[in-house]
Chains A and B, each alone.
Chain A
Amino acid sequence: MKKLISLSLIELDQHYKISKNKYLLKHTKDETVPFFALIAVLATMIIIYFPFYLDFIRVNLEYYSLKNIEPLFVAEFIMITGFIGFFLGAFVLIGEFFLKKDMKLLITLPLKPSEVILGKLSVVLCDQMIISLIFLLPALIYFGIYNHLSIGYYLSMILVVLFSQIFPVLLVLVFILPISHLFKKLKNKELILYILTSLLMVLALIYIFSSKDIFFIVATNPQDMPDIYINPQGIFSRLAWIYPPAFLGAKSLINTNIYRFTWTIAFIGFHIILLTLSLYIGEKLYYSTYVNFLEASTSAEKKASKNIDLLFNKALSPNKALLKREWLYFLKTPSFSVNGFTNVLIFPGLCILLAIIDAGIGINLQKELVGPLIKIKMFLVVFISAIAGSLSGLSYSCFSREGKFIKELKVLPITSSQIVISKFLHIMQLSSIGIISGALIGYILFNLNFLEFINVLTFSIIISIFFNLLQMLIDAFKPTFDWDNPQKAMKQNANGLFSILVIFGILILLGFLYYYISIYFDLHFVLIISSCIFVIFDILLYKLLKNRTTKLLKED
């Protein structure tokens, strides 16, 4: 037990850089600026979004109370939190278990695989806990206050919140361990692991979609509603099969006295059984699989390599070589490439999904969802296209992704302009997939004519350049070079959080602005003027970025 506590503390210390940050805060005062900036960003986000979220909780709870199906409210929030944890945590788990360099040390220490797994789980669960604290905890507290519940409810609530991420995380782990073991001999095992996990996510999406009639009351076809009101208990029991922790957790929260105690024990027991199963599988497979991850296969073409002319067969200009380097480093690191390609396609994909659901349910999207905004439909397409083209995760991590290889850029005889241009071109080449697919989907969804489409596409490209340069600048100010697994450079990068806040903020502001301007001016004209203004912003941002990169490369 002592070993386990010590291991977990070391893992957490390394993951959150507690000792290092304490040292830096003590010795270098400059380090406090980004730390407080991050706190300020988080506080702003909470202040802006929390009232909306509370309102959402209130409306939902009142609706469920009115229909006398309150237990489903609790279950639904436990389940949604679990699903979010599942989707956000899957890649993080792969990074922590298979790509983090610390395993090279841990594997040499007298530790059982199960102990290492528990240590690593503690890190992943701590990361995931933020999801439960944001989504689940306010809903359950609100539920307790709304129903004037006793202290027993709050004690159970703490347990439910603390355990809420265990099921999704273990589900991914139980999937990944045998899969990684199965493909451990293959050459591109890291990529295969990502692809199969993505496949698991797609399956989960299909599963959620096919089960949505059971638990998402508000979103279901109104004709099915009577079933829920007639037999809420039956629907509730079906939850046990769809998402067992939601069923058990909700039962432990809504019951009283001995029943609450019994259901709480059942809730804890369920998680312990799942944990035991995961540890059992891990004990058998984890180390042997990881050792294979460390081994790399060599080429069989020994003879072919002896022809020097074939080895040095093409010379590129420094600029082309740098761009090629960007693509190589990106494609050869699956944590980057899988995230990058997924990010540019996810938003247009969501729009298609929304359109399909919309068509299936029979509500007219344009009337119900964006009815009052239809007069700025061109901007709505720009919105979709710009988000798809600028939230690829590449720009806010353009320097962070370099990690220790930033030193390579520092020692090579290249200018900061060459570096910025190669990074920018790489980002825009990938982003163009998102920009074009976003614009096309918007074009179809909102029935734009050709002229509108060209205007929208032009502005989307210009504003995407602006957003990408802006995010590159954010990363140039505070890059995270010191990462031990590539996920931390992209998905777990604080610059991403900051970028999302800034981009959505700007787009929402523009939306308001265009909404009111469109009363007086034609939106075609407004978008053309905006394009010209943003071209100027793009040039200014590029200059700022170039200067900042020069400074960054001169820093220690």
Chain B
Amino acid sequence: MIEIVGLTKVFSEKIIAVDNIDLKINEGKVVGFLGPNGAGKTTTLNMIVGLCKPTSGKIFINGIDVREEPEKVKKVIGFVPDEPLLFEKITGISYLNFICDIFEVPLEERRKRGGWLLQAFKLLDAIKDPISTYSHGMRQKLALISALIHKPKILILDEPIVGLDPESADILKQIMKRHASNGNLVFFTTHIMEIAEKICDEIAIIDRGKIVFQGTIDELRQTKGDKSLEQLFLEVTKSENEKIDFSFLD
């Protein structure tokens, strides 16, 4: 379970990226984290995984304070950042073995799980090549495999679909659903409303650092009317798209 209490992040002196948010995400669910660019999604995720220090507030993972016992918390998290963080000069398999060593995945387990993931994401042919030879999509796949190979209880993904081909995107969506149905938790950000609508059990919408909605899509429709998720999202985030005069481009 992820529990966020009064979380705030202030960059420099004036920029409030995350403004006193509270969130509770339970096991067995796929939760989408939506919001416009610069709303505070990545900053929130970065604070959960320890990349960023909260200005105030607390984050608990399975009841453990992230700041108090970071190693214990990180052990149960699989994380994929918005930009794959991979040392380009080593081979894909060296990287996977390194991750397995750090998470202490037994050899048999890494063969079984790693082999399955490599085949599912069709990365087996390139896995002995240096990462520098990979396309953006292949790097994203490698980052996803490295997050999944140690069987994390909590999967945190920042824009995981970006760069993936339709086939791999479909595989990932199924993995996310299956992962949650096995009693784990998937928390991910996306800008693609269709994906959120298809696979999320719940969504949380953040705008200008504040949580403006958390619940199911049906609950959102009940309060805002029976519209598409995209329209609902624009309404909740008070989008001013309608005021833009596109005739300027003619």
Contact = CB atoms under 8 A, between A and B. Distances in A.
B103 interface: yes
A324 interface: yes
A301 B127 CA distance: 10
B107 interface: yes
Nearest to A316: B101
A315 B12 contact: no
Chain B interface size, under 10 / 10 to 19 / 20 to 34 / 35 or more: 35 or more
A315 B101 CA distance: 6
A414 B69 CA distance: 11
B107 A315 contact: yes
Given A311-B114, A312-B97, 20 more contacts: A28-B12, A28-B13, A296-B130, A305-B93, A305-B126, A306-B125, A308-B115, A311-B93, A312-B115, A315-B101, A315-B107, A315-B110, A317-B101, A321-B101, A324-B98, A325-B98, A332-B87, A410-B51, A414-B102, A554-B70
7 contacts: A306-B124, A318-B104, A328-B89, A328-B90, A328-B94, A407-B51, A555-B53
A404 B85 contact: yes
B49 interface: yes
B127 A311 contact: yes
Contacts of B102: 318, 321-322, 412-414
A298 interface: yes
Contacts of B85: 404-405, 407-408
A413 B75 contact: yes
4 smallest CB-CB distances across A and B, nearest first, come from: A321-B101, A332-B89, A413-B74, A308-B115
A28 B50 CA distance: 22
A116 to B, nearest CB: 23
A109 interface: no
Chain A interface size, under 10 / 10 to 19 / 20 to 34 / 35 or more: 35 or more
B21 to A, nearest CB: 18
A406 B244 CA distance: 42
Contacts of B228: none
A405 B11 CA distance: 21
A318 B87 CA distance: 18
A309 interface: yes
B71 interface: yes
A415 interface: yes
Interface in A385-440: 404-405, 407-408, 410-415
B183 to A, nearest CB: 21
B49 A411 contact: yes
Contacts of B50: 410-411, 553-554
Given A298-B129, A305-B128, A407-B51, A320 B101 contact: yes
Interface in A306-360: 306, 308-309, 311-318, 320-322, 324-325, 328-329, 332-333
A556 interface: yes
A312 B111 contact: yes
Interface of B: 11-14, 49-53, 67, 70-75, 77, 79, 81, 85, 87, 89-90, 93-94, 96-98, 100-107, 110-111, 114-115, 118, 124-130, 132-133
A556 B52 contact: yes
Contacts of A309: 111
A299 interface: yes
B47 to A, nearest CB: 10
B87 A414 contact: no
A325 to B, nearest CB: 6
Interface string A284-313: 000000000000111101101110110111
A296 to B, nearest CB: 4
Contacts of A412: 74, 102
A27 B13 contact: yes
B90 A332 contact: yes
Quick one: which of A311, A322, A405, A410 has the most chain B CB within 10 A? A311
Given A296-B132, A321-B98, A305 B125 contact: yes
Interface in A51-81: none
B130 A305 contact: no
B124 A312 contact: no
Given A411-B49, A413-B74, A555-B53, A312 B81 contact: no
A312 B100 contact: yes
Contact of B106 (A299, A315, A318, A556): A315
A174 B67 CA distance: 54
Quick one: which of B72, B97, B114, B133 has the most chain A CB within 10 A? B97
Contacts of B107: 312-315
Nearest to A403: B87
Contacts of A318: 101-102, 104
A299 B134 CA distance: 12
Contacts of A404: 85
A411 B90 contact: no
A298 B106 CA distance: 29
A262 B133 CA distance: 55
A89 B48 CA distance: 43
Nearest to B106: A315
Nearest to B150: A413
B124 A305 contact: yes
A318 B99 CA distance: 9
A302 B14 CA distance: 53
A312 B101 contact: no
Contacts of B111: 308-309, 311-312
Contacts of B103: 413
Contacts of B118: 308, 311
Given A317-B101, A320-B101, A412-B102, A299 B51 contact: no
A11 B209 CA distance: 35
Contacts of A408: 85, 87
Contacts of A299: 128-129
Contacts of A313: 107
A554 B77 CA distance: 17
Contacts of A329: 87, 89
A333 B132 CA distance: 13
Nearest to A334: B89
B172 to A, nearest CB: 20
Nearest to B11: A556
A153 B111 CA distance: 76
Nearest to A415: B71
B53 A405 contact: no
A312 B101 CA distance: 11
A324 B101 CA distance: 11
